[in-house]
Amino acid sequence: MPNVPLLGGFAAASGLIRLDSVIKAINDKFSGKVAAGNVAAATEAFNIVRRDLAEAMEVTQHA
């Protein structure tokens, strides 16, 4: 599902939804390799956004 990484990134950036909720929704809708690939994509996007936000905060605090 093409929008799954967006949901993972949104969860990380907004805090309005949890990654666990995104993963549950994926697993409720899909199964097998499709679910696993989408969970991996959402998780990777979540982690990238969290890392980038943390780095941005660190730079801002040292400025």
* Integer Cα distance of 60 and 63 in angstroms: 5
pLDDT of residue 57: 86
* Integer Cα distance of 49 and 38 in angstroms: 17
The pLDDT profile of the chain, 63 residues, written as one tens digit per residue, is: 679 999 999 999 999 999 999 999 999 999 999 999 999 999 999 999 999 999 998 887 876
